[in-house]
Every structure is written in C-alpha cells, then in structure tokens.
Structure 1
Amino acid sequence: MNVDFSKTQDGLVPAIIQDNVTSKVLMLGYMNEEALTKTQATGKVTFYSRSKNRLWTKGEESGNFLHLTDVKLDCDRDTLLISVQPEGPTCHTGSDTCWDEKNDPNFGFLTILEEIISERKNNTQNQKSYVASLFRSGINKIAQKVGEEAVETVIEAKDDNDDLFLNESADLLFHYLILLQAKGFRLNDIAAVLNSRHSSS
C-alpha cells in the first residue's frame, strides 16, 4: 500500500475507523508508517499517539480492541479508511463511537420506517393510524396480514406486471416489519442471524 506519509512534517496520516458490519464511523486517529505496519501485522489497530509520542494499540489498557478487517487508501494517498470489528465500546467515555452514537446497523429508509412503526405501536389509541389499529387487533391479525401479502406477492411474481409485483412486495415488507415489532424484534435481529450463518459457512 503506497501511502504518502511525506505530506505532513510529522509523517502522520488520518485513519478513519469504520465498523465493518454497520458502516458506522467509530473514531478518527493518526498513523505513521510504523503504526500501519504493526496494524497489518497484528490485526489490531495501532495508532501513533500524539499525546503519548509513541505507538498506541487501541485497547491495550481497556481491552476494547479494534480488530482489523480491511484497509483502503483514498485517491490522494494520504488518508486511510480502516474497517474493523470492534471489541467493546470504542470511545474512552464508554460510548460506542467518539460522537456518542449507538453503533447499530442502519438500513436507511427502512430504519426510519421502523421508528415510525415503533411510535404507532406505543400509541395504539391513535384512531387514524392503520398501524396502530393492527397493533390493537393483536398478533393473530398482524400475522394474517403478512400471510395475505405473501400470497399476493407470489401471485404477482408469476405475472409480468413489475409495478404490481413491486407494490405487493412493499406491502409484504411493510407488514413484516410490523410483525417483527409485534414479536419484540427489529431488522437488526434478523441481520444478526443472517450474519451468524454467513460467518459459520
């Protein structure tokens, strides 16, 4: 990896640390050539500490190591993007990230939709909400709706109308997200199961 360490007087380049699974940015550190070499050799992310004036392996005191999964170099060859598997919280404050964020998977709009469903679940007295009415009806009604949408999706899959197929697929996914929360789960729980299967295969 041809990193240009000569661009700064101290020979340090920024190293952006990103969770390999959630893609959440965990922290920013600095590396010199020796730190990068040690990181790649040991599999544990090592920085050059500007306050300690020495190499510093993240977790050497706390045990919260950052296990290396990948290293990428930017187009200017002076910034590293390092993918890791974190062991415990990353920040010294005990937070998952140095921006005091939870290191949870984010599924884009589906995560936003999950939050809306959660709000409706916690406010079942909302008479205007279709989702709230499903939660009022109970698990059997919700499960029935998922079954109905699944059948309709299969029917449309056998035809040639892509628009109908996509709409039925959206209905199925929407009601499945409701069913998940009715059972006390989120997409994150399903992703964890799939990831464990992938890791063991």
Structure 2
Amino acid sequence: MQVDFKKGNGLVPAIVQDAITRRVLMLGYMNEEAFNITQERGLVTFYSRSRQKLWTKGETSGNFLTVRDIIVDCDNDTLLIKAVPSGPVCHTGSDTCFDETNDPEHMTSSEFLRYLEDVIIDRREHPIEGSYTNHLFSRGINKIAQKVGEEAVELVIEAKDDNKSLFLGEAADLMYHMLVLLAQKNIRMEEVVEVLKGRHSR
C-alpha cells in the first residue's frame, strides 16, 4: 500500500468507519509511524497535531478501535480505516464524533439485515470463543445446510397454527441460519437480491 505522506507535510487524514455498521466514527491524522504501528498492532493509532505525539485510540478510555481493513484513496493521500469499536468513540461519550447513534436498534429493517450479515461474516473471519455463529461455522457446510432445512420445517409447522409470536421466532431463525449458509458459501445477500430483481422484471 503506497501512501503519500509528503503531500500533507508528513500527515494524511484517516477516516474511521465501523466495519460492521458502516457508520463513520471519526477523523484523525496519521504520520508514517502511526500508520505502521496501526498495521502492526491492529489498533488504530493517530498522530496528535496539538500534542505532536502518537496516541492509540482507547489508550485512556479503553475504547479501542480494532482494525479490520485499511484502504487508501485514489490519490494515495487519504485513508479509510474499517474498524470495530469496543465502546463509544468520541471523548464526549457519544458513539461517534459526529454525534450519531451507532446502534443496531435504530436501523431500518434493510440496514439491520445488512448489519447482521456483516456480523456473521466478521465472526467467520475473526472467531469469538463461545459464539453460536462460530459453532455453526466449525461444523461445516453439511451441518449448516441441515440446520437451514430444520428451521424451514419448523417454520412450516408454525405457519399452520395461529401463534404469531412463535411464527415470527421461527421466521427469524430461518433468516439467520440462511445468512450463515450464504456466508459459508462466500455469497453476499446482494447476489440473491440481484436474482430476485431479475425475476421481478420479467
């Protein structure tokens, strides 16, 4: 990755985005040393222009930003850092430095499905001990597919009764396990949507 630190007198702006919710969290600046440390440690580290020293986000509050991906822009002078926050990002206590809520409960239905898909993919790539999602991935494609089949049957059974709560629960289970199956197959939900779009236009 070629980053042009000379253009900004040794500094480049670094936009931090939540890797899962995709919400913009904050803006900081990095010099080459901060950039290298961020890559090596996997924790977002900036260069403070006011204090003229390096600082790792969260070193005081404990609210670290764990790096998932780093992308440089077309001019090689701005960074997009996709990270997972361990708590509020802003020093004011807000979720973001732009006073926006970074909470799945405030998402629309479509936003939450995308968020859930990203959480599942993140679990696959960065396993967490005790995670049910990781338990499913560890069992392999056959067991995951079998689980989808079981959930589909349970949904059909509940559809014959009039208990809306149980029916919704089974529908949610089926949707979740379907997303796990898609992730295991390295297929994004958007690909399925494209198929639906193609059928809709006929």
- Give TM-score scaled by structure 1 length: 0.55
Q: Displacement of 1:110 after TM fit?
A: 3.2
Aligned counterpart, 1:40: 39
Q: Secondary structure at the match of 1:6?
A: coil
Distance in structure 1 (CA, Å) of the matches to 2:86 and 2:50: 23
Distance in structure 2 (CA, Å) of the matches to 1:3 and 1:111: 32
Aligned counterpart, 1:147: 159
RMSD across aligned positions (CA)? 3.8
Once the two structures are superposed, residues 144-190 of structure 1 have per-residue CA deviations (whole angstroms, 9 ceiling, x without a partner) of: 9x938xxxxxxxxxxxxxxxxxxxxxxxxxx99x947xxxxx9xxx6
Q: Displacement of 1:28 after TM fit?
A: 0.4
Unmatched runs of 5 consecutive residues or more in structure 1: 113-142, 149-174, 181-185
Aligned counterpart, 2:189: none
Distance in structure 1 (CA, Å) of the matches to 2:39 and 2:108: 32
Q: Secondary structure at the match of 1:7?
A: coil
Aligned counterpart, 1:22: 21
Output aligned runs, 1:96-115, within 5 Å. Answer: 96-105=95-104, 110=110
- Give TM-score scaled by structure 2 length: 0.55
Structure number with larger C-alpha Rg: 1
Large movers: runs of 4+ above 2 Å: 104-112
Unmatched runs of 5 consecutive residues or more in structure 2: 113-154, 185-202
Aligned residue type for 1:72: I
Output aligned runs, 1:20-169, within 5 Å. Answer: 20-105=19-104, 110=110, 147=159
Aligned counterpart, 1:2: 2
Distance in structure 2 (CA, Å) of the matches to 1:53 and 1:30: 11
Distance in structure 2 (CA, Å) of the matches to 1:37 and 1:110: 37
Identity of aligned residues (%): 56
Q: Displacement of 1:99 after TM fit?
A: 1.0
Once the two structures are superposed, residues 101-137 of structure 1 have per-residue CA deviations (whole angstroms, 9 ceiling, x without a partner) of: 111348667359xxxxxxxxxxxxxxxxxxxxxxxxx
Distance in structure 1 (CA, Å) of the matches to 2:38 and 2:47: 11
Q: Secondary structure at the match of 1:34?
A: helix
Query: How many residues align structurally?
Result: 134
Aligned residue type for 1:17: V
